[in-house]
Amino acid sequence: MSYATTNPYTGEVLKTFPNAADSEVTEALDKAHSAFLSWRNASFSTRSKIMQSAADILRRELEPYAKLLTIEMGKLFSEAKAEVQLSANIFEYYARKAEVLLAPEKLPVASPLEGEAELVLEPLGVLLAVEPWNFPYYQIARIIAPQLSAGNTILLKHASNVPQCAAAFEKLMRDAGLPDGAFKNLYATRSQIERILNDPRVQGVALTGSEEAGAVIAAEAAKALKKSTMELGGADAFVVLADVDLEKTVKWAVFGRHWNGGQVCVSSKRMIVVDEIYDQFIDRYSAGVAELRAGDPFDPKTTLAPLSSKGALDDIRSKIEQAVAHGATATEVGPKVPATGAFLQPTILTNVAEDNPARYWEFFGPVSMLFRAKDEEDAVRIANDSPYGLGGSVFTSNTQHGKEVARKISTGMVFVNHPTMVKADLPFGGVRRSGYGRELLGLGIREFVNHKLIDVVDINAAF
């Protein structure tokens, strides 16, 4: 593993970074723990000012922050600016709400003899965040805004292809006024990560990434008896019922599958369309995908970004080949993508049978799997026939009925008539192989706190 900025559009290696020295890890742990000992006592208003300041800086310096995203992982510049804005919104959300979300709760005990019982929520200590490259800032904001607001301190291990984004966020928090040591980025090796997890001062780990990384880190955390949350992959269903507005639905389908170069955990990766309108849908969807324009992610006319790296491109090409070897049909769509840069030709996979292992994979790029469902019940069956359970959507003109169908889809988030709403004030997380735990809102801020009971009992009460 080596930390480097390689522009996925040009293929140029722009900057490399040495791995952290062991002494740097030792110092980061010492400082994070000593910062925790005072930060846990900082008032909500002190913490809130720092979170608000981080939001203000991001908004003020939106373009330079966004530029780094586009350079390091190839995100369209317009999407990069939206990510910076979203990250700012998350900081602001917790600046405003943390105190209320962590307010002590009086317990409605059955008898006064049980005492005056209340739950108080206290920070746990130093946490480790392991984050992926696909939303380099948003993923960090999703964990540090709530956890710093709760009084925890954090060490970050970011993906090795976004080292400058990681450093930019460390600087952001310093500039926002966060005490030294409370948030530190480390270009850590695998063995250093294991060491951090085993340090007694570290109380938990939040990982966002692949199932493979999740399984390793969750196992290491379990062995060290540390709490973990896992935000892993997904293969979200995009269910299309017979009564849809086809034009608008197709527009959302094309967007839902291809924003961020198709590299979103909640991308609409499986289009499941009822028989009555399947043929019309696939024609229009193919035409919509063919209109995408691959190119320079800084060019406002570009609508399809390159993949994040050459390695990611090789990986997805190999997955397509394997899908075809097992009987699927792969149809390449649209004008030829540029030969330089990590571009994948948008591809539609059909005839992905139940005995084709690819049916159950996550394709992290512009590859759409299309399924013809006999009827609505069959569409729900196909949607739930997945090892993943992250997000998903249902398109229908009858929104009340859409809600009923949404209840039948077994994932952490389902949207009616939208591919996915990623917002500061909506929770995020999944079930099954998509992981466990939730981020954002009160659910996220309460993942790494001690839910402590304090009960004041009459000394004369019976046992």
> Quick one: which H or E segment has residue 326?
none
Q: Which of 7, 185, 208, 420 is close enough to bind ligand NAP by CB under 6 A?
A: 208
CA–CA separation, 395 vs 250, rounded Å? 10
Using CB under 6 A as the binding rule, whether residue 413 contacts ligand NAP is answered as no
On whether the CB atoms of residues 393 and 237 are closer than 8 A, the answer is yes
**Residue 392 lies near ligand NAP (rule: CB under 6 A):** no
Q: How far is the CB of 153 from ligand NAP (least distance, A)?
A: 19
- Between CA 149 and CA 143 the distance in angstroms is 10
Q: Is 410 in contact with 389 (CB distance < 8 Å)?
A: yes
- The torsion angles phi and psi of 432, rounded to 5 degrees, stand at 50, -135
CB of 261 to ligand NAP, least distance (A): 12
Q: CB nearer to ligand NAP: give 402 or 435.
A: 435
CB of 135 to ligand NAP, least distance (A): 6
- Sheet strands side by side (includes 183-185): 183-185, 153-157, 126-130, 202-208, 227-231, 435-436
Draw the binding track, 26-65, toward ligand NAP (x: CB under 6 A; -: no contact).
----------------------------------------
The residue range among 112-120, 127-135, 169-177, 334-342 that interacts with ligand NAP, by the rule CB under 6 A, is: 127-135
- Enumerate the β-bridge partners of residue 227: 204
Binding of ligand NAP by 268 (CB under 6 A): no
Q: Which is nearer to ligand NAP, 15 or 451 (CB)?
A: 15
Element containing residue 370 per DSSP (H, E) = strand 367-373
The CA distance from 444 to 82, in Å, is 22
List, in sequence order, the alpha helices (H) in 342-438: 376-384, 399-408
Question: If binding is defined by CB under 6 A, does position 167 make contact with ligand NAP?
Answer: no
Site residues for ligand NAP, 420-459, by CB under 6 A, read 428, 430, 434-435
Of the pair 311, 335, the CB lying nearest ligand NAP is at: 311
Q: Which of 217, 323, 382, 449 binds ligand NAP (CB under 6 A)?
A: 217
265 is catalytic: yes
* Member of 75, 97, 157, 359 binding ligand NAP (CB under 6 A): 157
Instruction: Please give the size of the binding site for ligand NAP, defined by CB under 6 A.
Output: 30
Three-state SS for 192?
helix
Under the criterion CB under 6 A, does residue 75 sit at the interface with ligand NAP? no
Of 83, 92, 131, 265, which residue is the catalytic one?
265
Based on the residue annotation, tell me whether 165 is a catalytic residue of this protein. Answer: no
Strand order in the sheet with 237-240: 329-332, 347-350, 367-373, 270-274, 237-240, 392-395, 415-416
The DSSP string of 146-175 is: HHHHHT-EEEEE--TT-HHHHHHHHHHHHH
Residues with active-site annotation: 231, 265
List contacts with ligand NAP (CB under 6 A).
1, 130-134, 157-160, 190, 193, 208-210, 213, 216-217, 231-234, 265, 362, 364, 390, 428, 430, 434-435
